[in-house]
Amino acid sequence: MHMMSDCVMLPDSRDSRITEGPRLPKPPQPRRRGSLEFYEWIVLILFLGSLGLAVATSYDLDPDNVG
């Protein structure tokens, strides 16, 4: 049980380091950007698909209009 109390003291020192140095909050940002890129691709594909449908349905493809 004495070793568990030592393990509890280690995160306290790490928490004090987080407040002292702004370097530790920076590494989660690339991980969040990596997860956001996946959703950005999905949003981009949905946006381009809806834009393509909007353009395709805006034109009248009647034979009288061609030529």
pLDDT tens digits for 5-56?
A: 555 555 555 555 555 555 555 555 555 555 668 888 999 999 999 999 999 8
pLDDT number for residue 44: 94
pLDDT number for residue 64: 73
59 has a pLDDT exceeding 70: yes
Instruction: Give the integer Cα–Cα distance in Å for 1 and 52.
Output: 65
CB atoms within 10 A of CB 24: 13
Q: Where are the domains of the chain?
A: 28-59
